[in-house]
Homo-oligomer: A and B are copies of this chain.
Amino acid sequence: STYKIAAIPADGVGTEVVDAGKRVLAALQERHPTFALEWHDFDWGTGYYEQHGRMMPEDGLEQLRGMDAIYFGAVGWPGVPDHVTLWGLRLAICQGFDQWANVRPVTFHPGVPSPIVDAHERELDWVVVRENSEGEYSGFGGRNFGGREGSGEVAVQSAVFTEAGTERIMRFAFDLARTRDRKKVSCVTKSNAQQYGMVLWDDVFARVAQDYPDVETEKVLVDAMAAKFVLRPEDLSVVVATNLHADILSDLGSAMAGSLGLASSANLNPERRTPSMFEPVHGSAPDIAGQGIANPIGAVLSAALMLDHLGHPEEATRLREAVDKATGAGVRTRDVGGAATTEEVVEAIVAGL
């Protein structure tokens, strides 16, 4: 089948890694012509913003609506405020298309040094499911004196959790757990210190768990979960957490695997009413942009998540195996202890397909 894919490389190394991902996908398609991708390229981002005063056109979402998926790079550039780059493009797409489930696998790759003792001997493999539509990043709140020094200012930042939003992410996590070898969901909250939002999470988790008697469960406080990540990661399979908690835990997991440059992510609308978005977890990295040394693996593994979503899990597996062959052969960028360029990593992955 043929799929219409929107490519939005956006800023900094985003353009380099999206290009890398597209080339790997092209090579895969050539060798295994079970699918075809029809690319639609969009030059949105801070460059577009400098010309048009916005990160994407007013009808941006409409232009994307007919796509089968969105393949995204990264946003952010010095001089352009974070809230413009994020809410103007990346979060506008996430929220506009109700991509409420964010999936972030934590995977270890041969040859990539991990800061964790014996990580490679321990068969570590888990996935963080992030609630992507509400919670701590809802944007509610205010400041009463606009930052004026000595004003005795008070700032309120409110997290909003709904029963519906919580229930759907829990069900998503349980359904995902059922597809894995280890059928277990760990639910993260801080319900001993936050009695409203986090107790709602506890309540909904307990209710939903009843519908999945075949899935093992545990409730872990977020501070204890951070400790558990480094002390007993073999005990994890699916970790479901709020927007903020999962943000922290998924970065921690990626770092344990050796680098944020390896981490992939899917922003899903599981009902498939709208296109889902696939992107590396890393940012636009202005400090190394344009040098051809960015790690393309986060983007390549995000392409694998996209193939899964499009219904091509075998092709996704080939992509993952080719990545492991490349890292195992020592073809690694600087962030993971090597000296290879983006191009060399792409070539090694393509050779292993």
A-side residues, CB < 8 A to B, are 82-83, 86, 113-117, 136-137, 139-143, 145, 147, 149-164, 190-200, 203, 207, 222-224, 226-231, 244, 247-252, 254-256, 259-260
Contact = CB atoms under 8 A, between A and B. Distances in A.
A259 B230 CA distance: 10
Contact of A252 (B159, B160, B230): B230
A194 B137 contact: yes
27 contacts: A82-B192, A83-B192, A83-B195, A116-B230, A117-B117, A137-B193, A140-B156, A141-B158, A141-B196, A147-B203, A151-B163, A152-B162, A155-B161, A155-B162, A157-B194, A157-B196, A157-B197, A190-B244, A193-B244, A222-B244, A222-B248, A223-B248, A223-B252, A226-B249, A227-B255, A228-B255, A230-B252
A230 B151 contact: no
Contacts of A117: 113-117
A255 B220 CA distance: 15
Copies in the complex: 2
Nearest to A227: B255
Contact of A198 (B157, B164, B195, B252): B157
Nearest to A136: B194
A246 to B, nearest CB: 9
A351 B226 CA distance: 35
Contacts of A137: 193-194
Contacts of A113: 117
Contacts of A226: 226, 248-249, 251-252, 255
Contact of A207 (B141, B149, B197): B149
